Amino acid sequence: MSHRSVIHKIVIDVAAENHARELAFWEGAVGQRLPQNERFPEYHGAMLAGAGVGLLVQQLQDGGSRIHIDFHSDDLEAEVTRLEQLGAERVEQRDYWTVMRDPAGMLFCVVVDHNLDDTNSHVWEP
Q: pLDDT grade, residue 121 (50/70/90)?
A: very high
Distances (CA, A) of 116 to 65, 82, 86, 104: 30, 17, 22, 28
Rounded Cα–Cα distance for residues 8 and 53 (Å): 5
Q: Per-residue pLDDT tens for 35-94? A: 999 999 999 999 999 888 999 999 998 888 999 999 999 999 999 999 999 999 999 999
- Which bin fits 34, alpha (ψ -120 to 50), beta or left (φ > 0)? beta
Domain boundaries, the chain: 3-124
pTM above 0.85, yes or no: yes
What is the second-level CATH architecture of the domain 3-124?
Roll (3.10)
